[in-house]
């Protein structure tokens, strides 16, 4: 594998970008290979001059961008063995570390909490992205529990746990449909913002500061557990899955949404979305924390759940809206159920 493969993967996903963005990404990619000074914008990611990308420059300043990889001890060994080709292969195939919750991630989202409900703020893309996954999630819940979404308070009586609820972007629409929603988040400021907004909209949502382990009482179970864009921000994903599935009733469903650990997600979700298009604040994601669908599926099955559905979420270039897709290479969602035989599982495809 070399950088030309990166170009092919990028061009394979160009339908998700407008013309100006494509031109800028290609220009930046060429600048990267030419070791252009414009890559000083990647100031948060530094790597020693020993990175194997060609002859050294006259300027001895450390290169920007590549510390996306450099924090792992295996990276220096990979670069010594075979440069970028071996490095990328090692990173795509490496296991995820199991430690504890990451305090830096919590601090980062504390600083961004005020942006949650600003349609044109730093989470503006999340609002549009949220529409696609909300439609899928509502349809999945309605089909599983045999509810008609066109009816009044269609999800009445269904108890939902939203783990990592943020400012409540998913909790509120579900509460509007009549569901009993409990939202938990490890960032206290997020909970304050979520409570304030729910009061403004006259919705009752039980928001709590903490995790699925610490914020809930013993024996508190739910029909639906949501874990949306959370697992890539913690250091112990297996414990997170265990805590979430432990709160699921017999016959209940869990929906996990995250990003795949692929070269395409590195190019699109981090370099493209954060640095080029500025859809998200720089540093929102760490590619090393992304997880492959099979890794999460193994964790869910280990907790006694049956896998139901796995779908991707991608941007429609014509409507500029996000859509459900079979492509799992960047954003995707998994659905699993507890206590049902495989031949009785519902399929949530829209």
Whether 9 shows a pLDDT value over 90: the answer reads no
d(CA 182, CA 185): 10
CATH superfamily of the 103-260+267-344 domain: Vaccinia Virus protein VP39 (3.40.50.150)
Chain segment 178-224, per-residue pLDDT in tens: 999 999 999 888 898 899 889 988 999 999 999 999 999 999 999 99
DSSP 203-245: ---EEEES-TTTSS-TT--EEEEEEES-GGG-S-HHHHHHHHH
CATH 3.40.50.150 in the chain, residues? 103-260+267-344
If you search the block for the tokens 């928001």, which residue do you land on? 207
What local confidence, expressed as pLDDT, does residue 188 receive?
A: 87
331-338/305-315 β-pairing: antiparallel
| Strands, sheet with 206-209, edge to edge from the N-terminal-most edge strand | 206-209, 180-185, 159-163, 222-228, 248-259, 331-338, 305-315, 322-325
d(CA 262, CA 93): 9
d(CA 127, CA 139): 18
d(CA 330, CA 262): 7
d(CA 28, CA 31): 5
Contacts of 288 (CB under 8 A, 6+ apart): 68, 69, 71, 72, 91, 94, 96, 261
What local confidence, expressed as pLDDT, does residue 61 receive?
A: 41
Whether 47 shows a pLDDT value over 80: the answer reads no
DSSP 265-298: HIIIIIIIIIIIS-SS-TTS--GGG---HHHHHH
305-315/322-325 β-pairing: antiparallel
Mean pLDDT across the chain, nearest whole number? 75
What local confidence, expressed as pLDDT, does residue 282 receive?
A: 83
Chain segment 262-296, per-residue pLDDT in tens: 999 999 889 988 888 887 778 888 999 999 999 99
What's the length of the chain? 350
What band does 340 get if pLDDT is binned at 50, 70 and 90?
low
What band does 49 get if pLDDT is binned at 50, 70 and 90?
very low
d(CA 20, CA 55): 31
**How much is the average pLDDT of 98-117?**
51
Query: How many CB atoms are located within 10 Å of the residue 60 CB?
Result: 7
Least confident of 82-96, 157-171, 263-277, 285-299: 82-96
Whether 171 shows a pLDDT value over 90: the answer reads yes
pTM (whole model) above 0.95: no
**How much is the average pLDDT of 236-253?**
96
Whether 17 shows a pLDDT value over 70: the answer reads no
């Amino acid at each position: 594998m070399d950088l030309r493969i990166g170009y092919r993967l990028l061009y394979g996903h160009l339908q998700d970008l407008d013309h100006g963005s494509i031109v800028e990404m290609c220009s930046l990619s060429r600048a990267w290979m030419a070791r252009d000074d414009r890559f000083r914008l990647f100031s948060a990611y530094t790597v020693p001059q020993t990175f194997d990308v060609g002859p050294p420059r006259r300027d001895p300043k450390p290169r920007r961008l590549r510390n996306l990889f450099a924090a792992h001890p295996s990276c220096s060994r990979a670069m010594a063995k075979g440069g970028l080709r071996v490095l990328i292969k090692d990173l795509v195939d490496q296991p995820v570390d199991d430690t504890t919750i990451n305090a830096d991630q919590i601090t980062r989202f504390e600083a961004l909490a005020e942006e949650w409900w600003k349609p044109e703020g730093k989470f503006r893309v999340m609002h549009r992205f949220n529409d696609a996954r909300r439609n899928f999630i509502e349809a999945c819940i309605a089909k599983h529990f045999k509810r008609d979404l066109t009816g009044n308070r269609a999800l009445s009586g269904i108890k939902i746990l939203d783990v990592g609820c943020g400012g409540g972007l998913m909790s509120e629409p579900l509460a509007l449909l009549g569901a009993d929603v409990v939202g938990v988040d490890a960032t206290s400021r997020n909970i304050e913002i979520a409570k304030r907004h729910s009061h403004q909209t006259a919705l009752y949502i039980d928001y709590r500061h903490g995790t699925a382990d610490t914020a809930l009482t013993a024996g508190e179970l739910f029909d639906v557990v949501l874990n949306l864009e959370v697992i890539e921000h913690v250091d112990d994903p297996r414990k997170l899955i265990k805590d979430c599935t432990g709160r699921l009733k017999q016959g209940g469903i869990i929906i996990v949404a995250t990003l795949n650990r692929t070269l395409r997600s590195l190019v699109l979700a981090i370099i493209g979305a954060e640095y080029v298009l500025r859809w998200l604040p720089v540093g929102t994601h760490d590619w090393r924390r992304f997880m492959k669908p099979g890794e999460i599926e193994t964790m869910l099955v280990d907790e006694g759940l049956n896998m139901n559905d796995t779908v991707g979420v991608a941007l429609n270039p014509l409507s500029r809206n996000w859509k459900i897709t079979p492509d799992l290479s960047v954003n995707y969602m998994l659905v699993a159920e507890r206590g049902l035989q495989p031949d009785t599982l519902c399929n949530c495809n829209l």
